[in-house]
Amino acid sequence: MKLRDIIDACGLEPVLVPDAEAEVSSAYTSDLLSDVVAHCTEKSVLITVQNHKNTVAVCTLVGAPAILIAHRREIPADMQEAAAREGVALLHTSDSQFAASCKVGSVLGIDPR
Amino acid sequence: MECGCRSKSDNNFVGVLPCFRKEIFLMTMAEVAEALKAEVLVEGEGYKKDVRHVVASDLMSDVLLLDEEDMLLLTSLAGDQVLRTAQIVGAAGVIVVNGKPLPSSMVYVADTLRMTLATCRLSKYEACIAVNAALHSKK
Amino acid sequence: MSAPAPSSVLLEPKSIAGSGVGNDPLVLLELIQRLKVRDVMTTELATVPRSAPLCDVQELMRRKKISGVPVEEDGRFFGLVSIDDIIRALGGGYINDPCSKHMTTKLVVLEDDMPISFALRYFNRYHYGRFPVLNRDRRLVGIICQRDINRVLLVELSKELNRLEMASGKSLDQDGVSELYLMREFTVCKYDFENAGKAANEIKRLLQDRQLPPKLIRRIAVAAYELEINLCVHSDGGMLSCQIAKGKAEVVARDAGPGIEDVEWACRDGTSTANEWIRSLGFGAGMGLVNVKRVADEFEVKSKKGSGTTVRAAFTVTGAA
Ligand SMILES: Nc1ncnc2c1ncn2[C@@H]1O[C@H](COP(=O)(O)OP(=O)(O)OP(=O)(O)O)[C@@H](O)[C@H]1O
Ligand SMILES: [Mg+2]
C-alpha cells in the first residue's frame, strides 16, 4: 500500500511527506529506539511519541519510510530537519499510540494471529 | 471521543474504538491476557477488573498523562519502573510485549505492588490490534 | 507533647522516624552511596621507601600496631608489605633484604572517589584486611580497612538519627500536634533505577490509607513520581518529601546539584537534556515538569546552575478523612 493511501484512510496530518508514493506494508509501535532497531521491519510506519531527531536516524537505518507522531506531540525543528534530509515522512495524529495503531492496522489489514 | 475510520480497500466502517466509550462494558485483564495469549506472571488486584483504557507507551511521563484509572499498559519496556508507574496511575495491569525476558526483580515488584503482570509474544502494534479485535468480537 | 489530639489527625511518630529510618536499609544505602572512600580512609600513613630493609618494616608494624605497610616514595606507590611477607622473611632468613625485593606488588587498590558501597563489595570479594587508596593521578593517598568504614557509618547514622529527631521535634512545636497530618521524607540516589519510583509508590499508599479522595491522591502521586524520577535521573541525588498539614499537601524535591541552567526552558513541554540511555529506560520525554504543573495547584521551581534545585508542588486538600 502507498503511504498516501494510509494518510487518507486514517485521516493523518502530513507534516512533511517527501514521497507519498513510498510503499508501506506494516507498522510498528514503539517509543524505544533500541527496540525499533531490533524489531521494526522495512517499509513500516513507526507509530510513536518519541519526537526526537534520533528517531529519524533509526527509521533510516531500518528502512521505515514514515513516522507517525501520536498525541500530536510537537515535532522539534531539528527532527524536522533530519527528516527532510533523510527523506522520512513525518505525520501527526491527535490519537494515542493505541488508537493510531488500531486505525493503521485496520487499513493495512493485518491479522496479528 | 470516538474515533472511526474508513478503510479504502473494502469501504467498511472499521472502528469505533470501544475503549474510548466509558459506558460500554469492556474486558477484564484476565480476558485481555487470554486474547493476547499472554503469559500471566502475577495476578494482581486488577486482574479481574474491567480494563477501561489501553495505553500503549514506553515513556513513563506519557503514561502519567492520561487521567483515568484501570488502564491496560502495553509496553515494550521491561523494568521495575513500568510497574511503579502503573501503580501511580492505578492501572489494571501491565503487559510487556515482544516476548521480552523480564528481569527477575519485576515479578517481585509486581507482587509487592499487587500489580497484574504478563508478557506476550506479539509486538505492541499487533497487541493493540488484537486487543481491539477482541473488544469488538466480545461486543 | 500537648493535650491528646483526635486520633485521626495524630502525627504519626512512626512516619517521621520513617523518614528513612523506618526503612532503615534506605538510610544505610544512601550513606554508603554518598560517602566516598576518601571520607573513611586513614590518611596518616606509615610508609617506607623501597630501600628500607624488611626488619625496619617489622619494627614499624610493631610500634604502630599495624599489619600492612605501603611502600611509597613521594606519593608514588610501589607495593605493600604485609605481616605475611615478614613472617616469610623471618622463615627464609632474608629479613635484612630491602623490602622492594619481597613486597607484594600485585595489589587490588581502590580510588578515593569511589563510594564506600564499592569498597564494601571489594572487602567481600577479596578477603584482604585493607586496601591502599590511590587518587586520580595514581598517587597513594590513604589506606582503608573495614573497621574504618564501620566507625564512620556509625557516626553518620547517629547524626542522621539526631537530624530526624530534631526535624520531628520542630514540626511538633511549630504546627502543634493536631495540625500536621502526615510528613514523610525519602532519599533518592542518582541513577538508582532499581528504587526509582519507590518513594512515590509509598506516598500513594500512605495517602490511600488515609482515605483522601482518589483523584487527589493520584495527582499527588503523579507529582511525587515525576519529581522523584527527576532526582534520580538529573540530580546528584536528593530528598523527596511529602507533607500534609492545614488543608494543604506539599511535595518537595530538593537536591544540591547540578542545577538547571534555564528553568523556563526546562518547564516547557518536550524539552529535555536526557541522553539516549535515559530514553531507553522510558524517561526523558521532557514531559515530567509539565505533568507536575498540570496536576498541582501551586508549582514552583527554584534552581541555579552549579547549585541545587528545589521543586515544590502544592495541592489543596479537601474532604480529607
Ligand atoms: N532536579 C533536577 N536537577 C537538574 N536538572 C533537572 C532537574 N529536574 C529537571 N531538570 C532538567 O529539566 C529538564 C526537564 O525535566 P522534565 O521532568 O520536564 O523532563 P525529563 O525529566 O527530561 O523527561 P520526562 O520527565 O518526560 O521523563 C530535564 O531534562 C533536566 O534537564
Ligand atoms: Mg522528568
Give pLDDT tens digits for B127-139.
999 999 888 877 5
**According to the model, what pLDDT value does residue C3 have?**
39
How many CA atoms within 13 Å lie on the side-chain side of B85?
A: 31
Select the residue of C270, C280, C285 nearest A34 (Cβ to Cβ).
C280
Largest CA distance in chain C: 85
> Mind giving me the DSSP string for A17-75?
-S-TT-B--EEEE-S-HHHHHHHPPTTEEEEES--SHHHHHHHHHHT--EEEEGGG---
| Secondary structure E strands in chain B | 39-42, 53-56, 71-75, 93-96, 116-119
Q: Minimal Cα–Cα distance from A53 to chain B, Å?
A: 16
Task: Compute the distance from residue C321 Cα to the ligand 2 centre, in Å.
Answer: 31
Q: C-alpha cell of B2?
A: 470516538
pLDDT in tens, C50-83: 999 999 999 999 888 888 899 999 888 899 998 8
Which ipTM was obtained for this model?
0.93
- Average pLDDT over chain C reads 83
Instruction: Enter the C-alpha cell of residue C179.
Output: 495540625
pLDDT at B4 over 50: no
Closest by CA to A34, choosing from C285, C66, C138, C282, is C282
Testing ligand 1's pocket by substitution, the residue of B61, B62, B88 carrying the most ligand atoms inside 8 A of its CB is: B61
What confidence score (pLDDT) does residue C181 get? Answer: 66
Q: Does A9 touch chain B (CB under 8 A)?
A: yes
Q: Is the peptide bond before C70 cis (omega within 30 degrees of 0)?
A: no
Provide the 8-state DSSP code for B11: -
Q: What is the pLDDT of residues C196-251, one digit of tens each?
A: 999 999 999 989 888 889 999 999 999 999 999 999 999 999 999 998 887 899 99
Beta strands of C83-145 (E only): which ranges? 110-111, 130-134, 140-145
| pLDDT mean over C148-163 | 81
CA C129 to chain CA centroid, Å, is 24
Q: Is A89 left (phi over 0), alpha (psi -120 to 50) or beta?
A: beta
Single-letter code of the amino acid located at A77: A
Structure-block grid coordinates of residue C200: 512515590
Mean pLDDT is lowest, of A18-32, A55-69, C144-158, for C144-158
Q: Give the residue, out of C234, C251, C262, C273, with the most ligand 1 atoms within 8 A of its beta carbon, to mutate for a pocket test.
A: C234
pLDDT score, position C26: 63
Average pLDDT over residues B105-121: 95
**From the list B9, B37, B132, which residue is nearest A102 (CB)?**
B132
B106 confidence band (pLDDT: 50, 70, 90): very high
| Mean pLDDT value of segment A46-55 | 95
CATH number belonging to domain B27-138: 3.40.1390.20
Given a cut of 60, whether residue C170 has pLDDT beyond it is: no
**Which among C46, C64, C53, C51 has a CA at the least distance from the CA of C89?**
C53
**What's the rounded Cα separation, in Å, for the pair C249 and C297?**
10
* DSSP one-letter code for C227: H
CA B101 to chain centre: 18
Q: At what angle do helices C24-34 and C116-125 cross, to 10 degrees?
A: 100
- pLDDT bin (cut points 50, 70, 90) of residue C167 is low
Residue A49 CB burial class (10 angstroms; 0-12, 13-18, ≥19): buried
Q: Are C17 and C168 in contact (CB under 8 A)?
A: yes
Question: Backbone phi, then psi, for C249, in 5-degree steps?
Answer: -110, 140
pLDDT in tens, C174-193: 443 334 567 788 999 999 99
Per-residue pLDDT band for C168 (boundaries 50, 70, 90) equals low
d(CA C312, CA C301): 6
d(CA B85, CA B80): 9
Average the pLDDT over each of A11-25, A46-60, B4-18, C107-121 and give the range with the smallest value. Answer: B4-18
Q: Which domains are assigned to chain C?
A: 32-147 (3.10.580.10), 179-316 (3.30.565.10)
List the single range of A4-18, C93-107, C176-190, C246-260 with lowest mean pLDDT: C176-190
Is residue B105 pLDDT above 80, yes or no? Answer: yes
Is B28 part of the contact surface with chain A (CB cutoff 8 Å)?
no
Give the tens place of pLDDT for each residue, B44-97.
Answer: 998 998 898 999 999 999 999 988 889 999 999 999 999 999 999 999 999 999
B9-14 mean pLDDT: 32
With CA atoms as reference, the chain C residue closest to B115 would be C201
Look at C115 and C301; give whichever has higher pLDDT.
C301
- Contact check, Cβ <8 Å, C218/B58: no
Query: CA–CA separation, C321 vs C9, rounded Å?
Result: 9
Q: Predicted confidence band at C6 (pLDDT cuts at 50, 70, 90)? A: very low
β-partners of residue C309 are: C255, C303
pLDDT of residue C75: 83
- Cell numbers for C50: 623501597
How far is Cα C236 from Cα C192, in angstroms, rounded to an integer?
Answer: 11
Element housing C71 (H / E): strand C68-73
Give the H/E segment covering residue C25: helix C24-34
> pLDDT tier at A22 (50, 70, 90 boundaries)?
very high
pLDDT value of position C108 = 83
Judge residue C269's burial from the number of C-beta atoms within 10 Å of its C-beta, 0-12 exposed, 13-18 middle, 19 or more buried.
middle
The answer, yes or no, to whether residue B6 has pLDDT greater than 60, is no
CATH number for the domain running over A3-108: 3.40.1390.20
Inform me whether the pLDDT recorded for C260 exceeds 80: yes
> What are the structural domain ranges in chain B?
27-138
pLDDT band at C321, cuts 50/70/90? very low
Lowest mean pLDDT of A63-72, C36-45, C126-135, C161-170, name the range: C161-170
Q: What is the mean pLDDT of residues C86-98?
A: 90
Q: What is the pLDDT of residue B62?
A: 95
| Mean pLDDT of all residues in C281-304 | 95
CA of B15 to the centre of ligand 1 (A): 38
Pure H helices in C235-287: 263-266, 276-280
Q: What is the mean pLDDT of chain B?
A: 83
